[in-house]
Structure 1
Amino acid sequence: MNFLTQIDNLALIALLLVSGSALFLPTLSTLIGGKGLSPTEATIWINRRKAYVFDLRPEEAYKAGRLPGAKFIKPSEITTAIEKLKLDRNNPVVLVCETGAHSRKAIAEVKSLGFAEVATLDGGVQAWKEAALPLVK
């Protein structure tokens, strides 16, 4: 009987650890990779909070269709391009790429330029299209 109780306790502890990890992983991901916005949240940032939108995709993809108000920036020239724009550092920034993976890598660099809030569009332009939101050509 004592042995079965110990097994039950171990199972409960394992369940607690797994569920706790599952709850904490999204927070950890945000802390490491920065904030990710859904297409709806990105729209709110753009329309209500006057967020700057920087498109980090290849120029051909940018020309084929971009988020409204997005500016094309080569990922290798982020600092130079943003410095030339002389932007208000109090406004938030939304970084966009095709899937959201490449723009996450640029968050730290943009934050180092003095912007308080920097986020990526989760799922990138693909998620924007799936949400049936307009692209500008």
Structure 2
Amino acid sequence: MSNNWYKNEGEEKLAEKLIGMEKAALEKWFNGDSSGYRDLWSKKSFSYFDAVCVNRVDTYDEIAKLAIERVDRKLYAKHYEVRNERVQAVGDMAVLTYQLYCERNLINVNYNCIEVFQKEEDDWHVIHSTWSIIRPMEMDFSAMKEIV
């Protein structure tokens, strides 16, 4: 990884771990399987903002239900690319930011992603997630396909 913003080997290893967890969840997500994110999201404390949600989602149960309804066996990506990953950490909290460029079966969308991780017991979980569209004023939603 070796980016100049990581101060030591410990920070770099944590960044590799969290980015790896996120990429593993994305791989499942874009193959119509929300289980990777459902495992990554905190069941104790979770919130979520998305470009298609009017209000913040405030619980794990709510986001898990939405993910199953919207993703499982419905959402697929022809191609996606994660760019500009960065982890900033203090103690048992870490923020992962990255850009996601994807060609999906419903509509092609590019996101700025923010994942706030917290260490719970012996593992890390996302306690807040925000997916915002890169340059939303340029996004044309007229081509979006209906979810069957």
TM-score, length-normalised on structure 2?
0.27
Determine which structure has more spread, i.e. the larger CA radius of gyration.
1
The structure with more helix, counted as a fraction of residues: 1
The structure with more strand, counted as a fraction of residues: 2
